[in-house]
Structure 1
Amino acid sequence: MRLVATIALMLAAAVSWHGACAAPSGPAPTPAQSADPASPPQAGALTASDARLAGDERRTRLIVDLNGPTDKLNFRVFVLADPYRVVVDLPQIEFNISPENGKNGRGLVSAYRFGLIAQGKSRIVMDLTGPVSVDKSFLLDAIDNQPARLVIDLVKVDRSAFLRTVAAQKASDMTATPPPPQLPETLLPEVQSGLPIVVVDPGHGGIDAGATSPTGEQEKTIVLEFARKLAEKINATGRYRAVLTREGDTFITLSGRIEFARANRASLFVSIHADTLHDPFGVRGATIYTLSDKASDAESARYAEKENKADAIAGVDLTAEPGDVADILIDLTRRETKTFSNRFAKVLIDEFQAAATLNKNPHRSAGFMVLTAPDIPSVLLELGYLSSRDDVKLLTSDDWRNRATDAVVAAVDAFFAQRRQNHPSVSNAAAP
């Protein structure tokens, strides 16, 4: 049933893309709101103030200090294979812990991270050096001057024992996949029908912080601020309707971002990111990526591989993802969409170079999962490198954000103007 629904969404979106350049036969559907499912923590909410690892390569313990009411705290621990991970699901928690804490592994844990994963739900994900068993998991009550503590004990096992645990979890319906993004009913009553929908996708979020600069700026925060301003300016034109895949600090799966764009019958999808390099050697500037089965260069291949791990980072069961759908109609649509994506990339480069610094190789391509909708022209706009002090200074500047978002809006205008030229019968109500 899910496969049939997916194909139906693809075909509906394909029709809507062409429909954005033709007179509508009836009222256009009102777009859904952001897929961002989170709500802000309540006053007096449970917080995590510290986390640390102890132990060695045979037995390792994760300890999380908790402040607030823990008497009714329910949590669930499970394991995931390929890559090996241990996931801890909790109610919504405010993590007052530096993300740097989790980058230094110990014993059986190579790294760990934490954050929001869905409405009212937080998650801790531990990357493992090999297969483990969860020996014990328990809560210690606060005592004297010591906070309450969540304790997870891991012991080393062989792969066959690990996989038996994974199979037992699935048999008990203990899947690791978070609930799909919940699409709210409507955006705003005054939304005009017939306007092309531009989905703006701030990358990462929640448990997936993305890249981090040497001075601590996080990609998920920088791209969200940029995306909000961009959506505001797109909507201010009155010629398009922009919707965000997330409006707060929450995680959305890669497939959830694509499904959100299809559900909104998007005419354009712009994913916003900011990469980092371990050895930058002065590399900086914005880059626009489009989808390709074969990466345009080694750096693009590396970046795509890194970005495609977002779901694994968040503790998603990757075995639950559906396979690709092979269909002649979809293949034809994909080819046409690729052409439109490349056209938008070119006009975006033209507009962006007047407002911001571009990478010396500004248009690249690779197999980014978030760009794989076969029916929606899509690009990934990498604003710059967080490993470059010059780029970080720009990306956190209001003046630069204003100029850069103006450039993207101008590119959106140029893209749809080009579409109108190719379709002389376009209705003024259906496109700018």
Structure 2
Amino acid sequence: MRFARTLPLAGLALCAWLGLAGAVTAQGNGRSQSEFPVATDARLEQSGETVRLTMALSRPIEVTTAVIAGPDRVIVDMPSTNFQVQPTAARKSAGFVSAFRFGLFTADKARIIIDLAQPAVVVKAEVRPVRGGFGELVIELRKATRAEFQAAVAATPARDPEATAAIPPQAKPAGETRQTIVIDPGHGGIDPGAVVASISEKSVVLAFGVRLKEQLEASGRYRVLMTRDDDRFVPLAERVGIARAAGADLFISIHADSLTQAQDVRGATVYTGSERATDAEAARLAAKENQADAVAGLDASEDTQDVAGILMDLAKRETRTFSAVFARNLVEKLGGSVKMHKVPLRSAGFRVLSAPDVPSVLIELGYMSSPKDAELLNSAEWRGKAVAAVATAVEGYFTGARAPIGKAAENRR
């Protein structure tokens, strides 16, 4: 539940691009980010028991503010916006605000999330007119008691789950004989993933996913889909749903973790899904990745897809067997081209690997917290080697003795 209100914003700001590496086309409505209002110059400041977040905007918009508990946060929803704000700005804290983040949330909506270390309520959300016709978005929060905070949360009836803008699920076309592979670049939009210096995980894994898709499609043997092909947030359940709706024969999720307390740890790791983690580090990573929806401001209740109990236990075990086969193949092929973690093959309870009928793996390309890994993750040469290794592993999986689960099930009929 949350407390919400819609506020018109007045004022114009003519803001310059800070240099994206090319315009990104928004899915769903065909618009490019150059058509969106632009937000720049984010500042977080404390004054007594008040914390103020400000941003410059390029044209009038409307915003909806909300207070949500568990974890405590303030959400500011707005039309799709081109955020020209450095990722490092969002990690700054001020008073009871521990951090904030921003990004696309759906095809027609952007979102700012302000994380609260202590209870607070929204006391102001407006755009101040400034000289030259510019405007400044002002979100002002006041420190509150727990009772005041809970009253604000409970002030509005439960809202309907919010629709998100994943790529529409695509069923396998009639007569399609190629294997279907779904590539899942982790994080995206409002959820940046790990951020080191000015580089975010969501950008690193998207670049890798796009390159992998191109290489797999070039062979002509695969139908390749992506859970996202731009800077868009996609809930975990929808990622799984895209693969299942497409009749995927293989699901590959791409990530690049960060360990702030262990910068010497580096190398790629391949994970399969399991209720029981192989070790504490695998369990920690799964718990972290499973919080992606909360990071984007979704309530746990908004994830309504239940993938448990859909297939017989035999089919679930078979899926995991094929996942393990592909994972071992991946470790072998990646190990011949790139640096691997000292424990390169692991398993844990990743929600994104929960499809009971689609063999699935999650690849951690490396650790962005490692200076050496960070350098490689942003290297086109390294990316080419890693992509080629993954593509080789895919080829080996589909031409090996074990067929994907869909084909195996058909053969038993």
Q: TM-score range by the shorter chain?
A: 0.7 to 0.9
Amino acid at match of 2:268: A
Name the counterpart of 2:292.
Answer: 310
1:294-327, Cα deviation, whole Å (9 max, x unpaired): 2211211221121111111111122222375653
| Larger deviation, residues 146-155 vs 92-101 | 146-155
Query: Is this contact kept in 2: 1:108–1:154, CA < 8 A?
Result: no
* Inter-partner Cα distance in structure 1 for 2:161 and 2:64: 10
SS of the counterpart of 2:320?
A: helix
Name the counterpart of 2:3.
Answer: none
1:248 Cα offset (Å): 0.8
Amino acid at match of 1:205: G
The structure where strand makes up a greater share of residues is 2
Distance 1:194-1:422 versus aligned 2 partners, 3 A rule: closer
Distance 1:300-1:346 versus aligned 2 partners, 3 A rule: same
Name the counterpart of 1:28.
Answer: none
* Inter-partner Cα distance in structure 1 for 2:183 and 2:290: 18
- Where in structure 2 are the equivalents of 1:47-126 lying within 5 Å? 47-55=38-46, 58-66=49-57, 68-70=58-60, 73-126=61-114
* Inter-partner Cα distance in structure 1 for 2:146 and 2:179: 50
* Inter-partner Cα distance in structure 2 for 1:336 and 1:184: 24
For residue 200 of structure 1, the aligned residue among 179, 183, 192 is 183
Amino acid at match of 2:317: R
- Where in structure 2 are the equivalents of 1:397-416 lying within 5 Å? 397-416=379-398
Name the counterpart of 1:12.
Answer: none
* Inter-partner Cα distance in structure 1 for 2:268 and 2:233: 24
Task: Count how many residue pairs are aligned between Structure 1 and Structure 2.
Answer: 386
* Inter-partner Cα distance in structure 2 for 1:185 and 1:374: 18
1:179 Cα offset (Å): 2.7
Name the counterpart of 2:122.
Answer: 134
SS of the counterpart of 2:361?
A: strand
* Inter-partner Cα distance in structure 2 for 1:94 and 1:281: 32
- Where in structure 2 are the equivalents of 1:283-322 lying within 5 Å? 283-322=265-304
Distance 1:177-1:79 versus aligned 2 partners, 3 A rule: farther
Amino acid at match of 2:143: K
1:105 Cα offset (Å): 1.2
Name the counterpart of 2:135.
Answer: 148
Query: Is this contact kept in 1: 2:249–2:404, CA < 8 A?
Result: no
For residue 395 of structure 1, the aligned residue among 377, 396, 405 is 377
Name the counterpart of 1:25.
Answer: none
Amino acid at match of 2:196: S
The yes-or-no answer on 1:240 pairing with 2:222 is yes
Name the counterpart of 1:169.
Answer: 156
1:217 Cα offset (Å): 2.3
* Inter-partner Cα distance in structure 1 for 2:316 and 2:345: 19
Name the counterpart of 1:9.
Answer: none
Distance 1:37-1:315 versus aligned 2 partners, 3 A rule: farther
* Inter-partner Cα distance in structure 2 for 1:257 and 1:167: 31
Query: Is this contact kept in 1: 2:310–2:356, CA < 8 A?
Result: no
Query: Is this contact kept in 2: 1:203–1:220, CA < 8 A?
Result: yes
Name the counterpart of 1:344.
Answer: 326
> How much identity, in percent, do the aligned residues show?
43
1:36-76, Cα deviation, whole Å (9 max, x unpaired): 5475545564211112222357332222222x222xx1110
Name the counterpart of 2:9.
Answer: none
SS of the counterpart of 1:75?
A: strand
| Larger deviation, residues 389-398 vs 281-290 | 389-398
* Inter-partner Cα distance in structure 2 for 1:328 and 1:248: 31
Query: Is this contact kept in 2: 1:57–1:108, CA < 8 A?
Result: no
* Inter-partner Cα distance in structure 2 for 1:280 and 1:39: 42
Distance 1:345-1:192 versus aligned 2 partners, 3 A rule: same
Q: TM-score, normalised by structure 2?
A: 0.85
Query: Is this contact kept in 2: 1:61–1:151, CA < 8 A?
Result: yes
Name the counterpart of 1:183.
Answer: 168
SS of the counterpart of 2:155?
A: helix
1:35 Cα offset (Å): 11
1:74-114, Cα deviation, whole Å (9 max, x unpaired): 11001211101110001111111111111111122110001
> Mind listing any 5+ residue stretches in structure 2 that lack a counterpart?
1-24
Distance 1:150-1:89 versus aligned 2 partners, 3 A rule: same
Name the counterpart of 1:255.
Answer: 237
> Mind listing any 5+ residue stretches in structure 1 that lack a counterpart?
1-33
* Inter-partner Cα distance in structure 2 for 1:378 and 1:42: 32
Query: Is this contact kept in 2: 1:286–1:382, CA < 8 A?
Result: yes
SS of the counterpart of 2:99?
A: strand
Query: Is this contact kept in 2: 1:38–1:250, CA < 8 A?
Result: no
1:182 Cα offset (Å): 4.8
Query: Is this contact kept in 1: 2:276–2:349, CA < 8 A?
Result: yes
SS of the counterpart of 2:196?
A: coil
Name the counterpart of 1:357.
Answer: 339
SS of the counterpart of 1:340?
A: helix
| Larger deviation, residues 320-329 vs 341-350 | 320-329
Name the counterpart of 2:37.
Answer: 46
1:140 Cα offset (Å): 1.3
1:160 Cα offset (Å): 4.1
* Inter-partner Cα distance in structure 2 for 1:169 and 1:181: 27
SS of the counterpart of 2:315?
A: helix
Amino acid at match of 2:41: D
Distance 1:158-1:38 versus aligned 2 partners, 3 A rule: farther
Query: Is this contact kept in 2: 1:123–1:207, CA < 8 A?
Result: yes
Name the counterpart of 1:23.
Answer: none
1:129-169, Cα deviation, whole Å (9 max, x unpaired): 1322222222212x225841112222233334433433333
